[in-house]
Structure 1
């Protein structure tokens, strides 16, 4: 099953975006991102994978565009924020998304708890291409990394860990890892309620 099909079926059955966008995990992400947006004077934000909007509800972004692969959930999230004039949304199909004219751009582009749900190589490659292609100044990935020793062994079939740090360094030399922020409640085999993700904050080396 393609990853986009998995999420559409999950949402259509009444599922949500998962524990990572709720409770202490969501609060941690919001605190890091809201501070970064304020400190860096970020004016515009794009997110690839906005999900059910639970994480977004905690965000303090001046202007925001959220993409998602699930028509079902996107409709619900659009309805949830229908009265918020600072937020826009659009359906995302990675294989049918092309912005060579550079119109879909923002100061900051986000990918939060998305990458390890991309089980196909081609979709993963396109995701990175679109994230870094849309980012003018900063890109923030909140994800696992396959080189992390904790990520060995079997995980759920809708999960796959990628060597994100190596891939970004190799494919996007114009970007550098500005900061890594480990989450305060890491996942382990003994603590399954923890998060497998950490923040990887990138900045463009040579400006726009």
Structure 2
């Protein structure tokens, strides 16, 4: 997905009253926090990549917080809610002058359509973190589920895009709109070359196709 299209999608989404989704609330949020707390009790210095509407932070504070998001609508809203926190309006693939002991990147990577942008985001995560990186993304290809294939195929048929509909119905790694599956394990060497080891993988998420990847910087 080109950067401008991605920007329009998310900015329009939030401007229309959209939220960051189920992954930031309820049992999904509590599970993600429970994983974080297994490794670091003090969540006091965070760079939050694709911070969204801050639903994930409901009822919580952070001494030093930097949130990065591509939507100007949500960045402006977040600045009003947390004037003490720092927020950066940027594409997650564009390097920023940000540093934190902990880096969060939740529910973003499967929305990245372009491989180069995807790799750029991962490289940035390693540059921002002084110790921990917590990533939540797909462990399985959600687009192989027949209900998903039928739903997405129908969407493209309505748009008079039969070739895309056929590809989705037969099985694909992208919905050609805003979701793409990649085997995250293939990108672990990128973190290792930047000085981070894969510390743990938590695949007991309430989301049946998602997992939490925990990286720690070598000392």
TM-score of Structure 1 vs Structure 2, range by shorter chain: 0.7 to 0.9
Distance 1:64 1:76, change over 3 A: same
Q: TM-score, normalised by structure 1?
A: 0.79
Counterpart of 1:166 in structure 2 is: 186
Find the structure with the greater CA-based Rg. 2
Give the unaligned 5+ runs of structure 1: 188-195
Match of 1:109 among 103, 107, 119: 103
What CA distance in whole angstroms lies between the structure 1 residues aligned with 2:51 and 2:100?
15
Matched, 1:73 2:93: no
Match of 2:216 among 184, 203, 206: 203
RMSD: 2.3
What CA distance in whole angstroms lies between the structure 2 residues aligned with 1:142 and 1:59?
19
Are the aligned partners of 1:3 and 1:120 in contact in 2 as well (CA < 8 Å)?
Answer: no
Aligned partner of residue 55 in structure 1, secondary structure: helix
Distance 1:94 1:21, change over 3 A: closer
Q: Deviation of residue 151 (structure 1)?
A: 5.6
Counterpart of 1:132 in structure 2 is: 126
Aligned partner of residue 198 in structure 1, secondary structure: strand
Give the unaligned 5+ runs of structure 2: 145-170
Aligned partner of residue 17 in structure 1, secondary structure: coil
Q: Does 27-36 or 48-57 show the bigger shift?
A: 27-36
Counterpart of 1:64 in structure 2 is: 65
Q: Deviation of residue 183 (structure 1)?
A: 3.3
Runs of 4+ in 1 over 3 A off after TM superposition: 58-62, 148-156
Q: Deviation of residue 42 (structure 1)?
A: 5.3
Q: TM-score, normalised by structure 2?
A: 0.75
